[in-house]
C-alpha cells in the first residue's frame, strides 16, 4: 500500500511516494500556470519511475501555498463584498480598516455595514433589515461582485443572523458565493472578518485550483481519495478546501517543518525552507512546529488562526538580483518561469540560483552566463544572501542551545554549511520535504457543539468531547495510540438556559498504514 504526497509551490510541484515510513521516490517538476499539468507531470514521473500500479495507491495528500501566495502577491483575488451586520455599533472601525492599501485594492475594498448582530448574551443589537439587505445585494450585483463575506457581531456565539442574511441576499445574487465568518473564525470581530474577506476573495481561485487537481488525478486514473493539508498539518477533503481556502494558509511551513523533522529525525531545530520565491524560517519544538501565540499577519492582514510561528523573507531560488550599488536580491522573483527566464536556462534575468551556480555551489543549468559577471560581484551578492539567511534564522532562535538547522526546499542550495554558528543539516530528499510533510499529513477528529452543564461538570463535558473526537479520528483512519489533543476551546453561551457552553475540540493522529 502506497501514499503519494504532493506539494504545489509557487515555483515547483514536488511529489513523493511513501510506503509506511519509507520514501520510495521524490521528484520535482515546474509548477505550471494551470496547476494541473504540473501535478500530472510529477505524478506520471513518480509512478513511471517506481513502476507502482495506480490501483495500489491508497491516498494522495496535497499541500499547496497557492492561496497564501495569491494573498501575499495580491494576485488572482476576486472583487469581494464585505458585509458587516452590526449597526448602530461597530462603525468606528470599518471592514479592512488596518489592511495595507494594495491588498484592499486587490479585493476591491467594497464594504457595507447593515443592521443586525447580537449582544454577548444573544440579544439582538438590532433586527435584520430585509429591505436594507436587498438594497446592498443590488449594489453588489451592479458592481458585478459575486463573492460575499458576511460577518455579524458575536456570530461565534450565535450564527443565525449570518445565515439569514445570506439567504436574503442569495435571492438577489443567485450566482454569488457566501463566506460566513462564523464558519472559519473565532471571537475577535476584526480578525474573523479579515479571514472571511480573504476567504471570499479566494473562492474563485480555489474552485479552479481544486477542480484542476481533481481532474489531474482522474486524467491519469488515480481514483483513490485525495486530501489537502491545512494550517495545523491535518487533512481536509477537496470539497471543504473549495469552500474554505483560507484554512490552507500556513500549511506550507507546517508541511516543510514536519517533513524536515521526519527526514532528519530531529525534534528540536530551526527549519529553513527556501522555495523559489520566498524563504520560511520556523522552529520545531518536540517534533511540532512552534505555534505563534499572538495574532499572525498574512500578507499584512491580521488574523487569529492557529498558525506556526514563521518568519518569511522574500528570498528564493528565483529571486531577481537587481542594481549595482546597492545590489538588491528580491523581493520580486521569476518564480516558476526560472526555467525560461533564468540565465542558467538561457534566459536574460539574473537570479539567486544563477549566483550559486556561477560560484560552483550548485550544479544545474549553464554556469557560464553568471560567471561573466565576475567572481567579485558574485561573492558580493552571495554575502548579501547569506546575511539575509543569518538574520532570519537568528530571529527564530530563542536560546543559546546548539540546535541544528534543517535546510529544506528546492532553493536550499543557497544555504551555507553553517549559519550563525549552527550546523546545517541537509537531509536526503531535502528538496521535497514539503511533499513528505503532506504525505504524513495527520487525520483529525473534531467536535464543535453545545453542551449543557446543568447536570455534568465542565471537565466531564470536555472529556466527553475528547472521546467523541478521538472516536471520529479513529473512524477516519487514525492510529489510536498516536492520537493527541491539538486544540480545545469553550465559549460559554450566557444567553441559553442550563449553563450552555460551546466546546470546540480537535485531536490528531497518524494515518494508519
Partner 1 sequence: MTVKQLKNIELNDMKNIALGGAFLGTGGGGDPYIGRLMAEEAIASKGPVRVLDVEELDDDALIIPVAMMGAPTVMLEKLPRGDEAIAAVEALQNYLGKKATAIFCIEAGGLNSTIPIAVAAATMLPIIDGDGMGRAFPELQMVSMTMAGVAACPMVMADEKGNSIVLNAVDNLSTEKFARIITVEMGGAGLIALYPMTGAEAKKSILRGSMSLINSIGEIIHSEQAANRNPAIRLAHDLNGICLFEGRVLDVDRRTEGGFARGSCTIDGLGPDIGSQITLDFQNEFLIAKTADGKPKAITPDLICLLDLESGQPITTEQIRYGFRVIVFGLPCNPQWRSEHGLELVGPKYFGYELEYQPIEKLNLAQVSQ
Site residues for partner 1 per CB under 8 A: 86, 88-93, 97-98, 117, 119-121, 123, 125, 153-154, 187-190, 285, 290-291, 293-294, 304, 306, 309, 394-395, 397-398, 458, 485-490, 492, 494
C-alpha distance across the termini of the chain, in Å: 8
Shortest Cβ 113–partner 1 spacing (Å): 10
Shortest Cβ 462–partner 1 spacing (Å): 8
Shortest Cβ 120–partner 1 spacing (Å): 5
Comparing CB distances to partner 1, the nearer of 66 and 290 is: 290
| C-beta separation of 304 from 287 below 8 A | no
Express the helix, strand and coil content of the chain in percent, nearest 5 each: 40, 30, 35
Shortest Cβ 95–partner 1 spacing (Å): 11
Comparing CB distances to partner 1, the nearer of 109 and 211 is: 109
How many angstroms separate the most distant Cα atoms in the chain?
A: 79
Comparing CB distances to partner 1, the nearer of 5 and 117 is: 117
Shortest Cβ 12–partner 1 spacing (Å): 31
| Helix (H/G/I), strand (E/B), else coil: 357 | helix
DSSP labels, 212-256 = HHHHHHHHTT--S-EEEE-TTSBEEEHHHHHH-GGGGTTHHHHHH
Residues contacting 239, CB < 8 A, separation 6+: none
- H or E element that contains 490: strand 484-492
Comparing CB distances to partner 1, the nearer of 100 and 141 is: 100
Comparing CB distances to partner 1, the nearer of 286 and 455 is: 286
Comparing CB distances to partner 1, the nearer of 239 and 395 is: 395
- The pairing of strands 443-452 and 500-509 is antiparallel
Residues contacting 262, CB < 8 A, separation 6+: 436, 437, 440
User: How many residues appear in the chain?
Assistant: 513
Shortest Cβ 306–partner 1 spacing (Å): 7
- CA pair distance 46, 27, nearest whole angstrom: 7
Comparing CB distances to partner 1, the nearer of 194 and 431 is: 194
Backbone φ and ψ of 155, nearest 5°: -65, -25
- CA pair distance 82, 94, nearest whole angstrom: 10
| C-beta separation of 62 from 8 below 8 A | yes
Measured at the CA of 446, the angle between CA 443 and CA 449, to 5 degrees, comes to 170
Shortest Cβ 271–partner 1 spacing (Å): 15
Comparing CB distances to partner 1, the nearer of 45 and 504 is: 504
Shortest Cβ 388–partner 1 spacing (Å): 15
Comparing CB distances to partner 1, the nearer of 187 and 474 is: 187
Shortest Cβ 282–partner 1 spacing (Å): 12
Shortest Cβ 359–partner 1 spacing (Å): 29
- Give burial (CB, 10 Å; 0-12/13-18/19+) of 480: exposed
Comparing CB distances to partner 1, the nearer of 117 and 437 is: 117
Residues contacting 286, CB < 8 A, separation 6+: 267, 268
Amino acid at each position: 500500500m502506497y501514499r503519494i504526497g504532493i506539494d504545489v509551490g509557487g515555483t515547483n510541484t514536488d511529489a513523493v511516494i511513501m510506503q509506511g515510513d519509507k520514501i520510495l521516490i521524490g521528484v520535482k517538476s515546474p509548477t505550471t500556470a494551470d496547476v494541473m499539468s504540473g501535478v500530472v507531470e510529477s505524478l506520471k514521473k513518480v509512478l513511471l519511475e517506481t513502476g507502482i500500479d495506480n490501483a495500489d495507491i491508497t491516498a494522495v495528500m496535497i499541500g499547496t501555498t497557492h492561496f497564501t501566495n495569491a494573498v501575499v502577491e495580491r494576485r488572482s483575488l476576486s472583487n469581494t463584498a464585505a458585509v458587516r451586520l452590526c449597526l448602530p455599533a461597530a462603525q468606528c472601525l470599518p471592514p479592512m480598516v488596518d489592511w495595507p492599501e494594495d491588498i484592499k485594492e486587490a479585493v476591491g475594498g467594497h464594504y457595507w455595514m447593515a443592521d443586525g448582530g447580537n449582544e454577548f448574551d444573544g440579544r439582538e443589537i438590532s433586527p435584520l433589515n430585509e429591505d436594507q439587505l436587498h438594497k446592498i445585494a443590488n449594489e453588489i450585483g451592479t458592481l458585478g461582485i459575486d463573492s460575499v463575506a458576511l460577518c455579524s457581531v458575536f456570530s461565534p456565539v450565535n450564527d443565525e443572523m449570518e445565515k439569514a442574511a445570506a439567504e436574503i441576499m442569495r435571492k438577489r445574487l443567485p450566482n454569488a458565493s457566501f463566506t460566513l465568518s462564523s464558519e472559519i473564525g473565532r471571537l475577535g470581530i476584526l480578525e474573523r472578518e479579515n479571514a472571511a474577506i480573504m476567504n471570499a476573495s479566494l473562492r474563485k481561485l480555489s474552485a479552479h485550483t481544486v477542480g484542476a487537481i481533481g481532474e489531474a488525478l482522474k486524467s491519469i486514473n488515480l481514483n483513490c481519495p485525495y486530501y489537502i493539508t491545512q494550517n495545523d498539518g491535518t487533512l481536509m477533503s477537496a470539497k471543504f478546501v473549495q469552500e474554505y481556502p483560507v484554512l490552507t494558509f500556513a500549511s506550507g511551513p507546517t508541511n516543510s517543518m514536519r517533513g524536515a523533522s521526519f527526514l532528519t529525525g530531529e525534534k528540536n531545530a530551526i527549519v529553513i525552507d527556501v522555495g523559489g520565491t520566498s524563504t520560511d524560517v520556523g522552529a520545531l519544538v518536540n517534533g511540532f512546529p512552534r505555534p505563534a501565540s499572538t495574532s499572525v499577519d498574512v500578507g499584512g492582514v491580521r488574523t487569529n488562526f492557529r498558525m506556526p510561528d514563521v518568519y518569511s523573507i522574500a528570498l528564493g531560488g528565483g529571486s531577481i538580483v537587481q542594481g549595482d550599488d546597492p545590489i538588491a536580491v528580491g523581493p520580486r522573483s521569476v518564480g516558476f518561469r526560472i526555467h525560461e527566464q533564468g540565465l542558467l536556462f538561457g534566459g536574460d534575468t539574473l537570479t539567486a540560483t544563477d549566483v550559486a551556480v556561477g560560484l560552483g555551489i550548485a550544479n544545474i543549468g549553464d554556469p557560464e552566463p553568471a560567471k561573466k559577471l565576475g567572481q567579485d560581484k558574485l561573492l558580493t551578492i552571495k554575502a548579501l544572501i547569506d546575511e539575509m539567511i543569518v538574520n532570519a534564522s537568528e530571529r527564530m532562535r530563542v536560546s543559546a542551545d546548539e540546535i541544528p538547522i534543517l535546510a529544506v526546499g528546492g532553493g536550499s542550495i543557497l544555504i551555507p554549511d553553517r549559519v550563525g554558528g549552527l550546523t546545517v543539516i541537509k537531509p536526503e530528499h531535502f528538496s521535497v520535504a514539503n511533499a513528505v510533510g503532506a504525505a504524513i499529513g495527520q487525520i483529525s477528529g473534531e467536535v464543535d457543539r453545545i453542551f449543557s452543564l446543568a447536570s455534568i461538570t465542565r471537565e466531564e463535558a470536555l472529556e466527553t468531547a475528547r472521546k467523541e473526537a478521538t472516536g471520529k479520528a479513529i473512524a477516519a483512519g487514525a492510529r489510536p495510540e498516536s492520537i493527541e489533543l491539538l486544540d480545545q476551546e469553550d465559549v460559554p453561551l450566557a444567553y441559553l438556559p442550563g449553563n450552555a457552553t460551546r466546546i470546540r475540540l480537535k485531536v490528531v493522529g497518524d494515518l494508519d498504514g
